[in-house]
Amino acid sequence: MRDTLQTLDDEFAFQTSGRFDLLAGEHVAYTALGAPDVDGALRRSIERAEGVTTVVGRMGSGKSSLIAAVADSLEEGFLPLRVSVIGVEAGDPAAFARHAITEIRDLPDAQLTRHEAHALDRAAAEHRTQIATRELRAGFEIAAGRILTGKVVGDIKRVAAEELQRAADPSDAMRGMQRLFDVFWKLKRCPVVIVEDTDHWGGSPELADAFFDQTSRAFATMDAAMVVATQSDYTRLDGYQRVRDKLTAEVFLPQLPDVERGLTIVLQRRMSLAGVQAPVHDALEPEGLQLLSQSYIESVTDGRAGDLRRTLAVMRAALDIALGEPTAQRVTRGHVEEGMARTPLVPSSAL
């Protein structure tokens, strides 16, 4: 049992580094956690292929995790394009458009083709046969199969570079963004713009306010789908309230209905990714799990999802404390208690 603890520590099993490309592998679907099917809700909203969808939850609740997992599981007709908000005036639609065009121009080729390749591999493994093209809405269709060859990717980037040269004027930037989206549609690919690192707006509500009021409003009318990770408190901003009825959907992350069961499944996933096949109670005694669940419940407000990042951080700290005791075989309630003291609850948002 102590070996198990040591392996979990060596393999950083409960680390929450939050690298977007790793989140999908760690994600457990909400239905598997006994919660409503928000994975399905987000997928269906993206598949409407238009407008802005917000994924709403407190800090550390799992917005990026859900977005990463759903984006990863989209069929090849939908092309996720991640656009960072760091270092950009995200509240100015033209500045954001220029930045998005730049990011698409500078994406490594492999990143543009990876989703398609991955989706096709999955389809083959699932023996999924597909109709050749599917109409999403009038005049917009997606196609099955491999389209993003090296030459095509080169063409996309060339258009992006040309649009960037023309995009000095704000209205040119918006038109350039639309023309770049049109290139994807001509290839029968629906562009899905993912804005997921909005936690960087913590401390500047004006920026978040302007992003929703101006930028998301402008993008809502363009031919692309956009997904925005939204801290719960952002939804109280006037700018968000004003754009709310223009959103394709708001996906609120729900609280885990049975916290002990849900956490067990999340911990089990982490353990198996670390190469440990033992059941969770080999590493964490039941009373420890109870207290860990309480630490999650502490961060729940209004029945919405709690802070899973902090819960995992408490588990990591508790494991560290247990390993500091030469005779400890499992993480105990006492270790979790000390872990909680070391890992204070953060506010629900950074605003």
Ligand X SMILES: Nc1ncnc2c1ncn2[C@@H]1O[C@H](COP(=O)(O)OP(=O)(O)OP(=O)(O)O)[C@@H](O)[C@H]1O
Binding site for ligand X (CB under 6 A): 16, 18, 23, 26-28, 57, 59-65, 199, 229, 231, 266, 308-309, 312
Crossing angle of the two packed helices 286-297 and 259-273, in degrees rounded to 10: 110
Residue 230 near residue 54, CB atoms below 8 Å: yes
Q: What are the φ/ψ torsions at residue 78 (nearest 5 degrees)?
A: -110, 125
CB of 290 to Mg ion, least distance (A): 28
Q: What is the nearest approach in angstroms of ligand X to the Cβ of residue 33? A: 6
Distance (Å, whole) CA 20 – CA 197:
9
Nearer Cβ to ligand X (266/292)? 266
Closest-approach residue to Mg ion (CB): 64
In the complex with Mg ion, the residue whose CB is nearer, 232 or 264, is: 232
Which residue number is nearest to ligand X in terms of Cβ? 62
Please state, as a whole number, how many other Cβ atoms lie within 10 Å of the Cβ of residue 259: 22
Closest approach of ligand X to the CB of residue 295, in Å: 13
The item of ligand X, Mg ion, none sharing an interface with residue 53, based on CB under 5 to 8 Å by kind, is none
Task: Report the nearest approach of ligand X to the CB of residue 304 (Å).
Answer: 11
Residue 207 near which of Mg ion, ligand X, none (CB within 5-8 Å, type-dependent):
none
Quote the CA–CA distance of 66 and 348 in Å, as a whole number.
18
User: Closest separation between CB of residue 216 and ligand X, Å?
Assistant: 17
CA-CA distance, 67 to 276, in Å (whole number)?
A: 27
64 binds Mg ion (CB under 5 A): yes
CA nearest neighbour of 186 among 162, 163, 156? 156
C-beta of 214 vs 230, nearer to ligand X: 230
Distance CA 118, CA 173 (A): 32
Q: Which is nearer to Mg ion, 16 or 214 (CB)?
A: 16
Nearest alpha-carbon partner for 10 in 319, 266, 289: 319
Give the nearer residue to ligand X in terms of CB position, either 249 or 350.
350
Dist. CA 46–CA 192, nearest whole Å:
7
From ligand X, Mg ion, none, interface partner of 59 (C-beta below 5 to 8 A by class): ligand X
Binding site for Mg ion (CB under 5 A): 64
